[in-house]
Amino acid sequence: MTSEVQHPTETMVEDISRFTQDIESLHTSLPLIMSLTLALRRDTHKKYQDFLAEHAELKEKTDDSATYILQIDDVSEANKLEQINQNFRNAYRLIPRHFVTALVSQYDSFLGRIIRFMFAVKPEMLNYSDKALSYTQLVSFPDLISARDYVVEKEIETVIRKSHADQFAWLKEKLKTPFNKDLPCWPQFIELTERRNLFVHTDGKISSQ
């Protein structure tokens, strides 16, 4: 029994299809998830307010807050309802952040596959890689193909760690094509990726960078 080795171009076509499907899935599912979360948030808020209206006595109310008096037996249930409502309020705030992170993660993964494809169809690009192997490292590989794959992986890791603007500069240098030239969505793309970095590293707070 023999198995066919898939050509890199065929693999890349499948990767493009999978990437676009994944992005489209995130795009179509976010509004549905947000609608459901909002409905649950409103429902739990109503249950909490109904419980207070039935079991609590309003002591003080301002524009920003209200203070209630509860019987000791009702405190546990009130706290549970309040916590559930708070959970859905937090989820409504956090879910869009995680979708932004997921979008950029899908892109980064796709870019890694693109770079691997580039080296597969134009292996001479590796001639300019600065990922040198020591003799000790080289002899640890069973063959040159394994050593080459290791260098490719290291090159991909280096590019993925760059800023997204620098990644496009790297692609331009390697392929002699300015992919972001006259690209209308370029500012939005950079905005999206930088927001992802803020959500992951600084809880969404703007940094000096």
Dist CA 93 CA 21 (whole Å)? 25
Q: What is the dihedral of CA 46, 52, 55, 57, to 10 degrees?
A: -150
How many angstroms separate the Cα of 12 from the Cα of each of 6, 21, 111, 129?
A: 10, 14, 11, 22
pLDDT (0 to 100) of residue 138: 66
Tokens of 56: 């609590």
Dist CA 120 CA 126 (whole Å)? 10
Q: What is the pTM of this model?
A: 0.80
Tokens of 80: 């549970």
Helix (H) or strand (E) holding 92: helix 72-121
- The helix/strand/coil state of 101 is helix
Closest CA to 110 of 205, 12, 4, 192: 12
Dist CA 126 CA 36 (whole Å)? 49
88 pairs with which residues across the strands?
none
pLDDT (0 to 100) of residue 95: 96
56 pairs with which residues across the strands?
70
pLDDT (0 to 100) of residue 1: 47
How many angstroms separate the Cα of 34 from the Cα of each of 71, 106, 127, 146?
A: 36, 20, 49, 46
57: Cβ–Cβ under 8 A, 6 or more apart, which residues? 68, 69, 70
pLDDT (0 to 100) of residue 131: 65
Question: What phi, psi does 64 have (nearest 5°)?
Answer: -105, -20
- The helix/strand/coil state of 70 is strand
pLDDT in tens, the chain (209 residues): 455 657 888 888 999 999 999 999 999 999 999 999 999 999 999 999 999 999 999 888 888 888 999 999 999 999 999 999 999 999 999 999 999 999 999 999 999 999 999 988 888 877 766 666 665 776 677 777 777 787 888 889 989 999 999 999 999 988 888 888 899 999 999 999 999 999 998 988 887 77
